[in-house]
Chain A
Amino acid sequence: MILLRTDGSRESINLRVLDADEAPSGAAWEAVGLDHPALAEAESPTGLTLANDVNVETLDCDPQRFAFILLDFPAFTDGRAYSQARVLSEQLGYQGTLVAGGELLQDQAHYLKRCGFNAFALADAEAADRLAQGFNDFTAAYQATSRHELPVYRRRRA
């Protein structure tokens, strides 16, 4: 699997979502779900994966514990994870690697980036190339959404 970052860099990773009876090995790209017993332990697994119907505003674990959080797009037309990403990065101040997985098309790349995703899990290098092409579809936007933008009405008066 290829991990593409918003800066264009990419690395080959072994992204694994552990079953509930599988103990974390401490490897870099292991994620557990909310039902995994390791969540109750002091030593955090590396990553957390959330289904897109989870309300991240009421998570009972601290997202900062995880080096990465993997959010899912079961279909590119299912936009729930955009809201999850914004709440995690803007309201809960999540600073780690926010990974988008599932069906990701280059036409969503700029939306994904602006909602706070900074990494994308893709099947192969070709898919990563395509997605990266979409990062710069837009150089301007109206809304303040990602971590450092201002809304248009502030920029106009700046």
Chain B
Amino acid sequence: MYQYDAIDQTIVDERVRQFRDQTQRFLRGELTEDQYRPLRLQNGLYIQRFAPMLRVAIPYGVLSTTQVRMLAHIARTYDRGYGHFTTRQNIQYNWPKLESVPDILEDLASVEMHAIQTSGNCIRNTTSDQYAGVASDELEDPRAYCEIIRQWSSLHPEFAYLPRKFKIAVTASKTDRAAIRVHDIGLHLIENDHGERGFAVYVGGGLGRTPVIGVKIRDFLAPTDLLSYLEAILRVYNRLGRRDNKYKARIKILVRESGAERFTDWVEAEWAKIRTGSLELGVDDIQQMQAYFEPPAYAATEDSAEIDTQAAQNPAFGRWLKHNVIAHKQAGYRIVTVSLKDPNEAPGDCTAEQMERVADLADEYGFGEVRTTHEQNLILPDVPHAALFNVWSALDELGLATANHGTISDMIACPGLDFCSLANAGSIGVAREINDLFADLDEQYDLGEIKLKMSGCMNGCGHHSVGHIGILGVDKKGEEWYQIMLGGSAAEDATLGQRLGASVSKHDIAPAVRKIVDRYAELREGEELFVDTVNRLGIAPFREAVYG
């Protein structure tokens, strides 16, 4: 993985010093709340319902075990012993004290981490495929490009005060696990007809109040042109994005109001002016970055013959093996999903002890690396096949082996009204009620892949617009109500869900999900997936099931 040199470390250390000074000036009354707010947001610090919330960047979801242990240390020392992994592959702490945030940042800097641009109207953490570098279906490892983008976008002097937040995602597999088409810029590494690799560029996707699927503005961009093209898009957006209404300030509105063709013309014209300048990457610049992401020293190993016996003797292990373990590009290895979706816990929450033990497992049965996913789980990327049983046993003891990856209980949910000051309605309680109604894992397996995504408000942190089943919390005269959407997808066939009907009360939301799924079970043909049934029949039968 990437390792800081003196330049990276200086920048992060200086940002800590700057932020400490900003916080002290605020506490001394030299900065007003209005002046301090954008400054703290650009460093991931929100003032929440009960305490500040600090969002720490995990660039493209990659962590060393040293970093995981530091995240655990921070949870224990400055928070209440746990953290919440987010849909942007980051981690949030919900209970730090404002005064202690500079110290947290200093601790983070000591392990090459930071909270730079995890909020605010700037370029956010670049996200990617959680299986980058180990996926059996990828064209090449996208992480080198993610890191190049991270460096270019960090403290970029021109783009720190954009009209609104700006998110970039990169994927290099046919299967899009990074939801690139619901990002402000989505980059898809592909091979063209001449066998050259480059990026298909999508712009103007986004969730939130006005969900939009991004449009392709360029079929092929040479990797050496990556930064100049990004800079051209950002400059056009900085200049022309709306600033009169924050709900219309995302780039998706600019693309829609100007038309994709005109927008593309502006970008291409700007790009022509800056393409061959210092922004043009050399092939050797890219190779130098790729060297950080060379595969680790895999052992020449084969699949263990004992695994079938182990699975037969331990049905729970067998279930986990089937659902939470996937193919690796290296023979004899597997990718393991560490489920943060225990039905009794808030989706994405992880205790300090769990983090430390996962780090231990990644050291013992891997190469010291852990990933975070936008679906709010953790990944052990390099587990030898023969070690799967031991890894499962350890995870099971920690409550991290719920064999539900891809099922309805592997749901995405924001922290909701319990923590977030933006939220209109709770998510965590509803998640628990839904889990209670789908307690039988075997039933979940029969139902197959159902991506349930829930947000406590229309900002859409829980990606409800692109859930197979999406749930959106709304405020109705001070009460928590929920809208339901069906048929969305964040994958390569990105689609927005359709609203099922009027919102339902907190009392009725979990039963409504049950009715929808029951109707699917009646209507599905053979092994048809939930989303395919919805696409085949439309939402009418499901509307009837919920509203009668």
Contact = CB atoms under 8 A, between A and B. Distances in A.
- Report if A and B associate in a common complex: yes
Interface of A: 55, 57, 76-80, 82-83, 86-87, 90-91, 105, 107-108, 110-112, 114-115, 137-145, 150-157
B278 A144 contact: yes
A101 to B, nearest CB: 16
A154 B288 CA distance: 11
Interface string B1-25: 0000101001100110110001000
Nearest to A145: B157
Contact of A157 (B39, B235, B284): B284
Contacts of A115: 157-158
A140 B285 contact: no
A139 B14 contact: yes
Given A107-B18, A140-B10, A156-B5, A77 B278 contact: no
B536 interface: no
A153 B161 contact: no
A115 to B, nearest CB: 5
Contacts of A79: 158-162, 238
Given A77-B161, A78-B243, A110-B157, 8 more contacts: A76-B38, A77-B121, A139-B14, A141-B11, A142-B11, A142-B156, A143-B156, A151-B278
Contacts, number: 101
What is the predominant secondary structure among interface residues of chain B facing chain A? helix
11 contacts: A79-B158, A79-B160, A79-B161, A80-B238, A137-B14, A137-B17, A137-B18, A139-B14, A141-B11, A151-B278, A151-B279
Contacts of B192: none
A143 B35 CA distance: 26
B111 interface: no
B282 interface: yes
Given A105-B35, A142-B154, A143-B152, A83 B235 contact: yes
B417 to A, nearest CB: 28
A143 B385 CA distance: 43
B239 interface: yes
B412 to A, nearest CB: 31
B281 interface: yes
Given A78-B243, A80-B238, A80-B239, A153 B288 contact: yes
B521 interface: no
A142 B282 contact: no
B18 A140 contact: no
B18 A141 contact: no
A131 to B, nearest CB: 13
Given A107-B22, A140-B11, A152 B158 contact: no
Given A142-B7, A153-B288, A83 B238 contact: yes
Interface string B363-392: 000000000000000000000000000000
A86 B270 CA distance: 13
Contact of B161 (A76, A151, A152, A155): A76
A90 to B, nearest CB: 8
The 6 closest A-B pairs by CB, nearest first: A79-B161, A111-B157, A153-B285, A114-B157, A140-B10, A144-B278
Nearest to A84: B239
